[in-house]
Amino acid sequence: GQNIDQPTEMTATEGAIVQINCTYQTSGFNGLFWYQQHAGEAPTFLSYNVLDGLEEKGRFSSFLSRSKGYSYLLLKELQMKDSASYLCAVRAPTSGTYKYIFGTGTRLKVLA
């Protein structure tokens, strides 16, 4: 089966660092994506990992371990505007193409 797990909710303080974990079990793997989604809006792309290791992009970093089926998104110097849901998604091969499987998302609340 295909399964992606991430915590439902997290709370952190402005200026702090928060790590959002994602574990996955999929039949095939072709990349892991993180998206940010503010309430009522469309998801927007944050990061992409296909090889093991850390990808850094400004205040955001994403890590992947394919052997462990594990990824995390690290947000540094949290700002109030970072309050949003963070979606972990795996792209997996299927029938000559690929599909995207999403986790249910982690709702992050940043407190002043």
Interface with another protein, residue 31, by CB under 8 A = yes
Rounded Cα distance, 74 and 47, in Å: 11
Cβ count near 57 (within 10 Å): 10
- Decide if 29 contacts 41 (C-beta within 8 A): no
Q: Would you call 91 helix, strand, or coil by DSSP?
A: strand
Q: Which is nearer to another protein, 19 or 44 (CB)?
A: 44
Interface with another protein, residue 44, by CB under 8 A = yes
Identify the residue among 42, 51, 58, 67 touching another protein (CB under 8 A). 42
Intra-chain end-to-end CA distance of the chain, in Å: 41
Segment interacting with another protein (CB under 8 A) among 13-21, 56-64, 69-77, 84-92: 84-92
Contacting positions for another protein (CB under 8 A): 30-31, 33, 35, 40-45, 48, 87, 89, 91, 95-105
